[in-house]
Amino acid sequence: MSESNQDKPKHYDLISLIELEQDIILEKLTELEKYAWRIEKSVLTAEIYGTIKNLNDYIFSDVSRYFTLEEDLLLPELERVMPNHSSSAVMREEHTMILNICSMLNKMLEDKDGAEKEKDTLQAEIISLVDVLQRHIHKKNHVLYHEVQSKIPPEHQQEIYIKMVRKVNL
């Protein structure tokens, strides 16, 4: 029996695993940004509030999980092969900044009335998250992945990939 496209993994190595997750996060960010602009022009309805809260919860959960995996498995290996020359320190700083913004948004979204009162600040924080996370992903795509592919031996990349897949149960 042949395997259908739905049954095949959408990733096959370390970079494609992270890129797949980034694509999902970028889709959610685009949707979140759309809602940020909607709240500027109208009241924060229960539906919009719920959607923004759900999108932020998803993004926060997903980036937390993947940032932890990167910091535990990928960045130490990169630092080992490129001491003092890799982009890992910048990645870690950006992870902290992104998680702090998500956390701040979570606090702002604890209740609808509070979020409505702080609608302008909520919108600004959402736009900040979108901007910082998009730039972070761009940096990964153009700096970090090049470092990984050029400096970490393929067999070590494969080991990291297997560990990541096991941890996220993909």
Domains annotated on the chain, with CATH: 14-168 (1.20.120.520)
Which of the four pLDDT bands, split at 50, 70 and 90, describes residue 3? very low
pLDDT tens across 117-165, in order? 999 999 999 999 999 999 999 999 999 999 999 999 999 999 999 999 8
pLDDT tens across 18-54, in order? 888 899 999 999 999 999 999 888 888 999 999 999 9
Question: Distance (Å, rounded) from C-alpha 45 to C-alpha 17?
Answer: 36
Answer yes or no: is pLDDT of 6 > 70.
no
91, 144 contact by CB (below 8 A): yes
Q: Which residues contact 6 (CB under 8 A, 6 or more apart)?
A: none
Question: How many other CB atoms are found less than 10 A from the CB of residue 88?
Answer: 19
Query: For residue 123, is it left (φ>0), alpha (ψ between -120 and 50) or beta?
Result: alpha
pTM of the model: 0.87
Half-sphere exposure of 49 toward its Cβ, with a 13 Å CA cutoff? 16
pLDDT tens across 75-118, in order? 999 999 998 877 899 999 999 999 999 999 999 999 999 999 99
